[in-house]
């Protein structure tokens, strides 16, 4: 299995878990063309698209994805706000109830973001094992069993944000209440059993309020795992083990 | 509100009054003249029953007993009363804090020798001039206002404080400074009051700043320090919520896995793979 990063960050998020036979699209916050290009225009290979919440950088092309014949899985709140409740490709995913999408088993859980019923996903596939996809949440209520791969937001560092946004209280407060700081991310990783984790991918780094090198180093030092900072166009081997 | 909370409240209420009494007797704590500590503490209890934190939970449930007692003690030492809107209570990260309000600042400043405070708003088109005298005091030397300019574009505001010995202090703020001050508040200057009555709010702000100097330079200034302006309430709240709720419950697939397999068309094959996985992935899968 490969993880392809089509887009990451507040300008647009879309990720592909792809092997020879099938692919799962996670988020569709980029132009549909970029999604098609990333899968070599073999759209029928995509077994489904899961969307965490309705904000544009995550759901921009939700309707186009449906028009391309892809089933979209999101919460009732997300579909409601996107006005996609009554489409033929609409699937409501409920927290706590796993759904099979192709050979991907997807368990949704609630996250803490200023959106309508936002979700995080635990994805199981025989090649990847348990993959956590956690973004746009200022913390996680949960820890997860038997993780093999982690895709997690590390949006900002408190020190940087305080310096850069000292004048913009409103924006600063909004970020505090909707995105994950590197410190909270580290605490989360510390609270989980990482013994079987192969890769940790840091996503959704803020353009201005983060430091890629520092974040990567901090997570590497704490976990001893292979850590990637996602960037557009990146491809990562994404299996249970490195071999 | 549960009866348990009320009970806790009643006990804490007695405890705080007891503590104030003993402080008065043993440590020589003096309260302001004409101030009834018992009335104020009773009033505070009424107010506290209705006060909620940012998550809409009653503060009496979420705040530590010590912080409630300390907030009340601070209120009594300052001689403030919440019913007269001289102070209010705010929960910051599981702690109750006392915040001095505008009316409270005036009450305190009067106690510390202020005779009078007057504030005016400077509008665009006003003939306004300030000067600094040899003692370094700012003075408004000229302020001519036309009726037409009232309610127009606000350029700033000033407050003139007259003390008992007839010393006059003047505090002048530009609208930028005033707005920066509003930005420190919970509503960031976006409340209906700020939007609809910016002149009144500007006056309040400049008066507050003028009074702060008097209050904090008084003998008991250290008791009354205003630490709230430096703390972001949101930041405190976020930290508290993370501490309380983060990473608390473990979830995974194993509990629901049977149900999933019943629902899917994938049959024996995946089932076998799942079983293999369970063996290799260990008990945590």
% of chain B beyond a pLDDT of 90:
20
3-state secondary structure of B194: helix
Least confident of A123-137, A171-185, B6-20, B200-214: B6-20
* Structural domain containing residue A128: 2-236
Q: Does A145 touch chain B (CB under 8 A)?
A: yes
Tens digit of each residue's pLDDT (9 = 90 or more) over B69-95:
888 888 888 888 898 889 989 888 788
Q: What is the mean pLDDT of residues A136-140?
A: 95
pTM of the model: 0.58
* Yes or no, beta carbons of B257 and A129 under 8 Å apart: no
Which pLDDT band holds residue B5 (cuts at 50, 70, 90)?
Answer: low
* Yes or no, beta carbons of A184 and B246 under 8 Å apart: yes
Spatial strand order of the sheet with B154-163 comes to B114-123, B154-163, B168-174
**Distance to chain A for B238, nearest Cα, Å:** 6
Q: Which residue has the higher pLDDT, A212 or B283?
A: A212
Q: Does A91 touch chain B (CB under 8 A)?
A: no
User: What is the domain-level CATH number for residue A199?
Assistant: 3.60.15.10
**Residue B41 pLDDT:** 86
Q: What is the mean pLDDT of residues B166-175?
A: 90
Res A20 pLDDT > 90: yes
Nearest to A73 by CA among A82, B24, B178: A82
Tens digit of each residue's pLDDT (9 = 90 or more) over B9-40:
567 677 777 877 777 777 667 777 778 888 88
Which pLDDT band holds residue A184 (cuts at 50, 70, 90)?
Answer: very high
**Residue B260 pLDDT:** 42
Q: Which residues contact A120 (CB under 8 A, 6 or more apart)?
A: A52, A108, A109, A110, A111, A132, A133, A134, A135, A137, A140
* Yes or no, beta carbons of B232 and A187 under 8 Å apart: no
Q: Does A193 touch chain B (CB under 8 A)?
A: yes
Q: Categorise residue A214: left if φ over 0, alpha if ψ from -120 to 50, beta otherwise.
A: alpha
Q: Is residue A243 part of a domain?
A: no
**Residue A213 pLDDT:** 92
Q: Does A100 touch chain B (CB under 8 A)?
A: yes
3-state secondary structure of A138: coil
Number of domains chain A contains: 1
**Chains A & B: contacts with CB separation below 8 Å:** 102
Where do the structural domains in chain B lie, given as residue ranges?
3-101+222-273, 113-217
* Yes or no, beta carbons of A187 and B284 under 8 Å apart: no
Is the distance from CB of A106 to CB of A121 less than 8 angstroms? yes
CA distance B227 to A80: 43
Nearest to B41 by CA among B84, B75, B6, B87: B75
Tens digit of each residue's pLDDT (9 = 90 or more) over A148-160:
999 999 999 988 8
CA distance B121 to B110: 23
% of chain A beyond a pLDDT of 70:
100
Res B222 pLDDT > 70: no
Res B283 pLDDT > 70: no
Which pLDDT band holds residue A170 (cuts at 50, 70, 90)?
Answer: confident
Which pLDDT band holds residue A129 (cuts at 50, 70, 90)?
Answer: very high
**Residue B183 pLDDT:** 85
Q: Which residue has the higher pLDDT, B133 or B24?
A: B133
Res B166 pLDDT > 90: no
Res B271 pLDDT > 50: no
Q: What is the mean pLDDT of residues B99-127?
A: 88
């Amino acid at each position: 299995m490969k993880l392809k990063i089509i887009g990451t960050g507040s300008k647009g998020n879309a990720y592909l878990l792809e092997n020879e036979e099938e692919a799962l699209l996670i988020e569709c916050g980029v132009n549909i063309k970029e999604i098609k290009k990333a899968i070599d225009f073999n759209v029928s290979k995509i077994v489904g698209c899961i969307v965490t919440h309705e904000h544009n950088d995550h759901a921009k092309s939700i309707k186009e994805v449906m028009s391309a014949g892809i089933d979209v899985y999101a919460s009732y709140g997300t579909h409601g706000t996107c006005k996609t409740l009554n489409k033929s490709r609409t699937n409501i995913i409920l927290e706590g109830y796993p759904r099979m999408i192709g050979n991907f088993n997807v368990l949704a859980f609630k996250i803490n973001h200023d959106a309508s019923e936002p979700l995080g996903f635990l994805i199981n596939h025989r090649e990847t094992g348990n993959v956590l996809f956690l973004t746009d949440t200022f913390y996680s209520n949960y820890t997860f069993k038997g993780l093999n791969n982690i895709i997690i937001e590390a949006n900002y560092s408190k020190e940087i944000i305080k310096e850069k946004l000292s004048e913009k209280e409103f924006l600063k407060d909004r970020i505090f209440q909707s995105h994950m700081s590197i410190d909270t991310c580290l605490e989360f990783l510390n609270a989980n059993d990482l013994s079987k984790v192969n890769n940790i991918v840091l996503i959704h780094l803020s353009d201005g309020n983060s430091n890629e090198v520092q974040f990567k180093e901090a997570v590497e030092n704490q976990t001893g795992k292979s850590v990637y900072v996602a960037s557009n166009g990146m491809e990562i081997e994404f299996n249970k083990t490195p071999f | 509100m549960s009866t348990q909370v009320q009970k806790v409240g009643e006990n804490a209420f007695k405890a705080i009054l007891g503590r104030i009494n003993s402080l008065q007797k043993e440590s020589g704590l003096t309260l302001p003249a004409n101030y009834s500590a018992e009335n104020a503490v009773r009033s505070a209890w009424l107010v506290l029953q209705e006060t909620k934190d940012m998550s809409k939970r009653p503060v009496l449930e979420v705040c530590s007993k010590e912080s409630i007692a300390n907030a009340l003690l601070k209120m009594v030492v300052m001689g403030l009363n919440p019913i007269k809107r001289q102070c209010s209570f705010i929960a910051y990260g599981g702690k109750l804090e006392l915040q001095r309000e505008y009316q409270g600042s005036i009450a305190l400043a009067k106690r510390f020798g202020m005779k009078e405070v007057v504030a005016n708003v400077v509008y665009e088109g006003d003939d306004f001039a300030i000067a600094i005298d040899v003692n370094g005091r700012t003075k408004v030397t000229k302020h001519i206002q036309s009726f037409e300019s009232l309610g127009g574009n606000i350029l700033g505001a000033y407050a003139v404080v007259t003390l008992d010995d007839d010393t006059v202090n003047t505090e002048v703020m530009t609208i930028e400074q005033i707005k920066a001050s509003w930005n420190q508040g919970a509503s960031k200057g976006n409340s209906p009051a700020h939007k609809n009555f910016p002149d009144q709010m500007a006056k309040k702000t400049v008066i507050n700043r003028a009074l702060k100097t008097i209050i904090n330079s008084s003998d008991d200034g250290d008791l009354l320090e205003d630490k709230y302006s430096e703390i972001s309430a949101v930041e405190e709240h976020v930290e508290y919520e993370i501490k309380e709720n983060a990473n608390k419950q473990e979830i995974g697939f194993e509990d629901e896995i049977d149900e999933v397999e019943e629902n899917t068309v994938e049959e024996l094959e995946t089932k076998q793979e799942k079983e293999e996985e369970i063996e290799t992935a260990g008990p945590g899968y």
